[in-house]
Amino acid sequence: MNASQPSRSDAVEVRDLVVRYGAATALDSVSLRVAPGEMVALVGPNGAGKSTLVNTLTGILTPASGSVVVRARIAQVPEGRQMFGDLTVDDNLRLGAWQLRGRGKSRRKQRDTSWVYELLPDLVRVRDRKAGGLSGGQQQMVAVGRALMSRPEVLVIDELSLGLAPLIVADLAEHLTELNREQGTAVVLIEQNARLALDLCSRAYVLEAGRIAAEGDSADLAASPDIARAYLGEAQGLPSPPDAQGAPGPDAPGPDDRATADPVPTPGTVKTGRGNQDTAVQAARATTREAK
Amino acid sequence: MSDFLVYLITGLGTGCGIALIGSGLVLVHRVTRVVNFAQGTFAVVGGLTAISLLDTGLPHGLAEVLGVAVAAVVGLLFGMIAIGRRGTSPQAALMVTLGLGILAYAVEVMLWGDQGRSSEGLSGAVTVFGARIQTHYLLIIGVTMAVFAAMAALFGRTDAGKALSACSSNPYAARVVGISVTRMGLIAFAVGGALGGLAGVLLAPMNSVAFDSDVALIINGFAAAVVGSMHHIGRTLAGALFLGVAEAMVAGYGSATYQTVVALGLVLALMIGQAARTHSVVAEAG
């Protein structure tokens, strides 16, 4: 495992980061790295400091000590989607490019939203609607599109699945892997739904009470009994029959490529329990609350 | 008929002054969510500065422009005090602007005394349908229309305008996409100061300007801005013009004593009617 060996080519490098809110320590000597083009998950319970870490990466919060080096353009999909509710979808997207300071022709190109609609075609229908009136899934797409408008090399997503229906989460996840594959955009995915995050990303960090409790390849983490017990549910770890993994049910758009990448833990670590054929979709269903 | 025309144009002129105050309120609120009760102060400062400069022999035009510039600087200063500290709530900032407005009384009395002053406006008059109308009113109306057209274009068409609106729509998201919310708020305060100063400079030849002239201005301007829900430029203008004309008509055909009361009563009735209509639509939809 080379997760803890930083290199100068890393897009994001965090060392011994400490962040405080007044007297409370939100992050306590956290170290983390993201290589270019990599998908990294950051999982952990509520209040572990995940959003604090994100806001420090993007410069909204300032660290008390430690270092944050960002060697790439970074954009954030904030928790709760954070629409400009009384502006249109297209205006929301254009404001994503606010920091790009082109002049004349290059400026017009920077503010051109058409490529985002190609990537997220569901947004075409609603481009002139007020963002505040959209469904949760549509808003999450706008939030992703808005972040993409700044042409990031690293996309930080704070809670992709929160409050969204499982099918919509699966669809969004599909778009993310596509984006990562085709444009080489690195993704840092912050998730309470650990199963979803470990399925999507190749490497993961587990944050607990402001400290990194575990890190490594997603497959190894998913196979670890401690992690499985704490984050993937008691029953997790039972080797699923292969057909159950590939067949999530008639209502789910086939997330086959992810499902086959599902880590199948060794039988030795298995806890007893009800049979569990989690796919990303079903995991999402179990832990998300429906919105709107 | 000619009386009516005179009252109408005078009313529109006054209404334009109210509209400029109201537009400043809307602009600042749209960016910072702060109701800036010092908006009338900017008009007083702008007006009195221009009058003093004219007294020293500065030509028309230059004196007025400098008056507006000074009001803009005061606006920026007030903005720095009211919202410069990160994390100040809009409600707290509102109280700060109220306090600054009262503090400004003292400074204004020290600089200009407590008597009202007036300046000479654009001289001359034109005769339309037998009514003599002072050219200055036409100037006020023209300038105000230009300002509102510019504001509508700013918010409706430009990215800078969208970014300004984004600051109040969702301040956190604005920071996420890299918009400096505080800087945008300060710009809004400075432009709000200029708009207030413009109102003061334009109204100075019609009414004398004293340190406490801001009260009448802010009451009317606030009423107009509320008609526009503190957000809509066009509706604020409509509300202000309605107020101005209503006041002129009441003063012309009735008594000037009641002009403000009657006009504000009409706006109140209008707003209650508006709210009732919205409510019934909501009830039907539900």
So what's the pLDDT on residue A289? 37
pLDDT at A4 over 60: no
Question: Using one digit for the tens of pLDDT, what is the confidence trace for B136-145?
Answer: 888 999 999 9
Q: Tell me the percentage of chain A whose pLDDT exceeds 70.
A: 77
Q: Which two tokens stand for residue A11?
A: 């897009």
Would you call B266 exposed, middle or buried from its count of C-beta atoms within 10 A (0-12, 13-18, 19+)?
middle
> With 50 as the cut, is the pLDDT of residue A265 above it?
no
Checking if the pLDDT of A153 tops 60, the result is yes
Q: For A10-44, what is each residue's pLDDT tens digit? A: 899 999 999 998 888 899 999 999 999 999 999 98
Q: Do B170 and A94 touch (CB under 8 A)?
A: no
Higher pLDDT, B113 or B123: B113
CB A284 within 8 A of CB A193: yes
Give yes or no for A140 touching B (CB within 8 A). no
Among residues B112, B175, B198, B137, which one has the least CA distance to residue B9? B137
Q: Where do the structural domains in chain A lie, given as residue ranges?
A: 12-72+153-287
More confident residue, A40 or A7: A40
Average pLDDT, chain A: 79
Interface list for A 101-130 with B (CB within 8 A) = 111
Hey, are the CB atoms on B177 and A58 less than 8 Å from each other?
A: no
Measured between beta carbons, the chain A residues lying within 8 angstroms of B169 are: 84-87
pLDDT of residue A237: 44
**pLDDT by residue (tens digit) across A175-230?**
899 999 988 999 999 988 888 899 999 999 999 989 998 899 998 888 888 887 77
Architecture of domain B2-285: Orthogonal Bundle (1.10)
The model's pTM is 0.79
In A, minimum Cα distance to B166 occurs at A84
CB contact under 8 A, A84 and B166: yes
Nearest to B176 among A82, A86, A94 (CB): A82
Distance from CA of A20 to the nearest CA of B (A): 17
Name the more confident of B262 and B106: B106
Interface test mutation site (partner A, options B29, B86, B167, B169, max chain A beta carbons within 10 A)? B169
What pLDDT is attached to residue A233? Answer: 64
Chain B residues in contact with A150 by the CB 8 A cut-off are: 177-178
**Given an 8 Å threshold on Cβ–Cβ distance, is A94 in contact with B162?**
yes
Find residue A203's DSSP bridge partners: A40, A217
User: Do B165 and A95 lie within an 8 Å CB cutoff?
Assistant: no
Average pLDDT on A149-161 reads: 92
- For A251-266, what is the mean pLDDT? 40
Nearest CA in chain B to A143: B173
pLDDT range class, residue B284, cuts 50, 70, 90: low
**Average pLDDT taken over every residue of chain B:** 89
ipTM beyond 0.85? Answer: no
Shortest CA distance from B159: residue in chain A: A95
Reported as a pLDDT band with limits 50, 70 and 90, residue B263 is confident
Task: Report d(CA B52, CA B49) in Å as an integer.
Answer: 5
Whether residue A240 is predicted with pLDDT greater than 70 in this model: the reply is no
Cβ separation B172–A82 shorter than 8 A: yes
Residue A110: band (very low, low, confident or very high) from pLDDT cuts 50, 70, 90: confident
Query: What pLDDT does B282 receive?
Result: 55
Minimal Cα distance from A93: which residue of B? B177
At A26, list the tokens. Answer: 């939100």
With H, G, I as helix, E, B as strand and everything else as coil, classify residue B149. helix
- pLDDT higher for A261 or B266? B266
Handedness of CA B208, B211, B214, B216 (dihedral sign): negative
Q: Does A52 touch chain B (CB under 8 A)?
A: no
CB contact under 8 A, A87 and B162: yes
Cα separation values, A40 from A75, A174, A220, B21, B99, Å:
15, 16, 14, 52, 51
pLDDT tens-digit readout, B77-103: 999 999 998 888 999 999 999 999 999
Domains of chain B by residue range:
2-285
* CATH match of A12-72+153-287 with 3.40.1830.10: no
Alpha helices in B115-232 (DSSP H): 135-157, 159-169, 171-176, 181-203, 214-227
Residue of chain A whose Cα is closest to the Cα of B167: A84
The pLDDT-based confidence of A6 (bands split at 50, 70, 90) is: low
- pLDDT value at position B280? 62
User: Minimal Cα–Cα distance from B249 to chain A, Å?
Assistant: 38
Q: Report which DSSP code applies to A132.
A: G
The per-residue pLDDT for A9 is 81
Contacts of B176 in chain A (CB under 8 A): 58, 60, 76, 78, 82
pLDDT category, B265, cuts 50, 70, 90? confident
Q: Reply yes or no on whether the pLDDT at A1 is more than 50.
A: no
Q: What pLDDT is recorded for position A5? A: 56
Interval A46-104: pLDDT, tens: 888 888 998 898 888 889 999 999 989 899 999 888 999 999 999 999 999 998 877 78
pLDDT of B15 > 80? The answer is yes
- Binned at pLDDT 50, 70 and 90, residue A232 comes out as confident
Interchain CB contact of A88 with B (< 8 Å): no
Per-residue pLDDT tens digits for B27-83: 999 999 999 999 999 999 999 999 999 999 999 999 999 999 999 999 999 999 999
Mean pLDDT on B256-267: 81
Q: Do B170 and A83 touch (CB under 8 A)?
A: yes
A248, A259 Cβ separation under 8 angstroms: yes
What percentage of chain B carries pLDDT values higher than 90?
59
A70 touches chain B (CB under 8 A): no
Look at A85 and B170 and tell me if their CB atoms are within 8 Å: yes
- Chain B closest-CA separation from residue A267 CA (Å): 45
Please indicate whether, in this complex, the C-beta atoms of A87 and B173 are within 8 angstroms of each other.
no
Please check the confidence at residue B249 and state whether its pLDDT lies above 70. Answer: yes
Statement: residue A241 has pLDDT above 50: no
How would residue B285 be classed by pLDDT, with cut points 50, 70 and 90? low
A235 versus B187: the higher-pLDDT residue is B187
Are the Cβ atoms of B159 and A111 closer than 8 angstroms? Answer: yes
Phi and psi based region of residue A184 (left: phi greater than 0; alpha: psi -120 to 50; beta: remaining): left
* 223-282 of A, contacting B, C-beta below 8 A: none
